[in-house]
Structure 1
Amino acid sequence: MSMRDLPYDIFTNILSRISIKSLFRFRCVCISWRDFLSDPHFIKQQLIRSTETNISNPNLILNCGSNLYHVLYSIHNDTWDDEPVKLDLPFKLSNIGIVGSCNGLVCLLGYSNRVYDVVVWNPITRDYKKLPYTSLQFPGRTVSRFPVMGFGYSPSKDVYKVLRVIYFHVDGRTASSCRSLVQVHTLGSDSWRRIGEIPFEIRDWLSGTFVNGALHWFAIRSSRPDTIVSFDVGDEKFRKIPQPLFGDDGFLKKLEVLGGFLCMICTYYDNRVKIWVMKDYGVRESWIKHFSISQPMVVGNFKHLKPLGFTKSGEILLEMHDGKLVLYDPERKLFSNFRIPGVPVCSEVGAFIGTLISPKACSRNE
């Protein structure tokens, strides 16, 4: 029986369950396979399937200075499926930072000689789209800071967008008069659009946390306490998100994603950590304290703790402040180092799902 003898839906269902690396190789079998695996309907079905299994089989991208590595961590076997692959980038970037990932696409930021380059890239297919360069014009003489960045997707409009916020102040004025330049690039367009200013000062210099169709950061407004600010990728509006009712203070806060939910990592000065999860997006009462870590830290510093995924047994794969990976068992409250042979010391780790989506094929639907 050939592929033509199978009903389209059955064939799609079968192939969408195959590993992304195998699908990528299958595109080279023949023209009919290439055309089928490039069909937008199949790519969306494969994305849905990959999203369902992402928590248990995350693809990791490791930023090791000037080199990036790809590792597929198989939670079911509690090991990696293949040897780490050093990625040969089809583009040139200096001082690489991972802005974020969404639906298998990874957004990278490069900085050199006061020029910022932004690339949206699929590490599996190697397809990429370099965003247009825009010279930034500010009124008068200005002092610019590093940009706040974010990368996300709007399901309602089926578009991917990159957000860039640059804060500046005119020489001779106080820091309190800081202003902002907010720009959005819709993947598939040929320019950045200015959408005004943001009335908050975002504290995180690089990456927004993408959850529920919106990017999230901690921000302040004048002398008021910090708040969670969201940017809806669809309607391009900034909003405030309620925080948990902590009942205590004296800690640093950080936003991440855990199990598909917005989570807040609270690091106390005595090296305790509490992780809160918002189960019902936008509802203050839905914040729950997922787990706490109270034992003396022996594997590193908690300041930049980042969850990457769950294991089959319930352990959490965590990135520490120096790129070190550890597994934490919240039931037994135990840590264990997670080492990947063949990979040098990394400064940054990101998680993404494996898909066949091409950033070049993403069209502007607005």
Structure 2
Amino acid sequence: MGGKSLVRCRCVCKTFNTEISTPYFIRLNLQYTAAYNGNRLLILPVEKRGQSAVLGFNLDDRLSHESPLLVTPYLVYIFGSCNGLLLCYRACSHLLSLHNPINGNIKYIDIDKIDNSFFSSLGFRFDETHNDYKMVAIWENYDFSQDQQPERTVKVYSVMEDTWRITEYNYKIRVKDILDGCCSGVLIGNSLLHWMFWCPLSNRRHRIGCFDICSETWISDVVLPDYYYNSTECWIYLLEIGELDGRLCCSLENKIESCFDVWVMEEYGVKDSWTMLLSIPVIDDSLLGGIVAVARVGCEVLVKHRDGCELWWYNIREKTMADSAFTSRPHVTPLV
């Protein structure tokens, strides 16, 4: 049953309202929906005629029309989604909020500062162990002109407790690498958030760091394909990591063969399970930045420009690129 239908059912009687509002019922309904509804929602924040909105497009039904999820007086960025909730960020005023598009509820969240600076990246997920929604924020401070190691702080926000807390051994820790870009954490499984880090002072190589939102600690890094490590002088460059149908994926720029390679980890944590999904030749000097989704009908993948604001459909069979008419920073979530 869809979210809007459930909201209407709450008005039937007090018993329905109480039962539908329990965490157990909500979790059960979401699990059922995820299992039997394979459709995916492409979420795009847009500005049209002086008005801002967050639109949803059904990726698996090209004939469906856009669906407005939110209408706001300001442009927001989507840093994550979970169980139908959207984590939104308004950069101009540093406003962070959780939106429920079904009932219109909004929860505003105060953002902590460290040394008068705001976070560098965010991750968002539901912690099933503690029955709580959590956000992970990463702060970084560095000045390479002073020949100093970067400084990193990690905080976790609990929606249930409405507080930020510093995780153990993660306050202003001296590190050797920094986040590559202000991207949101990539979720794999129920509790593992991933970020790309790179070391600009030494070998300029990347690594994939993994944070367990249940234990609130960093765990072992995810090893990249041998294909990446075997390259010398950075001819193979890690552009982006992401999630495809529940699997960790990475996008690599191959400067030797002038192509864009996408690898998928078929079995999480197993290095030998990295498999090349496809290789896209550079067409018209297009600067590809990552893969967004794979079409379940036909032979197309949705890819984005390196600046994140243009999306194209790439036809694997014909090796052609077509404009998707989508222009914004995308976020893909199960349609619930």
- Secondary structure of the 1:125 match is coil
Q: 2:62 aligned to 78, 87, 91, which one?
A: 78
Tell me, yes or no, if the aligned pair for 1:100 and 1:151 is still in contact at 8 Å: yes
2:292 is the counterpart of 1:307: yes
Instruction: Name the residue aligned to 1:229.
Output: 209
CA 1:105–1:84: 2 relative to 1, 3 Å: closer
- Secondary structure of the 1:52 match is helix
Instruction: Name the residue aligned to 2:101.
Output: 123
2:301 is the counterpart of 1:316: yes
Structure 1: 5+ residue stretches without partners: 1-17, 340-344, 356-366
**TM-score of the pair, normalised by structure 2:** 0.80
Tell me, yes or no, if the aligned pair for 2:252 and 2:262 is still in contact at 8 Å: yes
Instruction: Name the residue aligned to 1:12.
Output: none
- Secondary structure of the 1:276 match is strand
Tell me, yes or no, if the aligned pair for 2:303 and 2:313 is still in contact at 8 Å: yes
Instruction: Name the residue aligned to 2:181.
Output: 204
Residues in 1 aligned to 2:262 and 2:251: alpha-carbon distance in whole angstroms: 5
CA 1:26–1:256: 2 relative to 1, 3 Å: same
Residues in 2 aligned to 1:288 and 1:230: alpha-carbon distance in whole angstroms: 20
Residues in 1 aligned to 2:11 and 2:313: alpha-carbon distance in whole angstroms: 38
- Secondary structure of the 1:273 match is strand
Tell me, yes or no, if the aligned pair for 1:20 and 1:354 is still in contact at 8 Å: no
Tell me, yes or no, if the aligned pair for 2:260 and 2:282 is still in contact at 8 Å: no
Residues in 1 aligned to 2:157 and 2:62: alpha-carbon distance in whole angstroms: 39
Q: How far apart are residue 152 of structure 1 and its match?
A: 2.2
Return 23-32 or 63-72, whichever deviates more. 23-32
Q: How far apart are residue 254 of structure 1 and its match?
A: 0.6
CA 1:318–1:31: 2 relative to 1, 3 Å: farther
Query: What letter is aligned with 1:148?
Result: S
Query: What letter is aligned with 1:323?
Result: C
CA 1:218–1:295: 2 relative to 1, 3 Å: closer
Tell me, yes or no, if the aligned pair for 1:57 and 1:72 is still in contact at 8 Å: no
Tell me, yes or no, if the aligned pair for 2:260 and 2:279 is still in contact at 8 Å: yes
CA 1:42–1:290: 2 relative to 1, 3 Å: same
> CA offsets, 1:76-107, max 9 Å, x none?
x4322x44326224xx7x55222112222221
Structure 2: 5+ residue stretches without partners: none
Residues in 1 aligned to 2:335 and 2:12: alpha-carbon distance in whole angstroms: 20
- Secondary structure of the 1:176 match is coil
Q: How far apart are residue 183 of structure 1 and its match?
A: 1.3
Instruction: Name the residue aligned to 1:61.
Output: 43
- 1:20-169 alignment runs, 5 A limit: 20-28=3-11, 33-53=16-36, 56-65=38-47, 67-73=52-58, 75=60, 77-80=61-64, 82-85=65-68, 87-89=70-72, 96-112=76-92, 116-134=94-112, 136-138=113-115, 144=117, 147-169=120-142
Query: What letter is aligned with 2:134?
Result: K
Let me know the Cα RMSD of the aligned residues.
3.1
Tell me, yes or no, if the aligned pair for 1:121 and 1:129 is still in contact at 8 Å: yes
Q: How far apart are residue 26 of structure 1 and its match?
A: 4.5
- Secondary structure of the 2:251 match is strand
Q: 1:286 aligned to 263, 266, 273, which one?
A: 273
Residues in 2 aligned to 1:28 and 1:325: alpha-carbon distance in whole angstroms: 41
Task: Say how many residue pairs are matched.
Answer: 317
Over the matched positions of the two proteins, sequence identity in percent amounts to 24
CA 1:133–1:83: 2 relative to 1, 3 Å: closer
Tell me, yes or no, if the aligned pair for 1:308 and 1:350 is still in contact at 8 Å: no
Return 261-270 or 229-238, whichever deviates more. 261-270
Q: How far apart are residue 325 of structure 1 and its match?
A: 3.6
CA 1:25–1:95: 2 relative to 1, 3 Å: same
Q: How far apart are residue 193 of structure 1 and its match?
A: 0.6
Tell me, yes or no, if the aligned pair for 1:99 and 1:109 is still in contact at 8 Å: yes
Query: What letter is aligned with 1:132?
Result: D
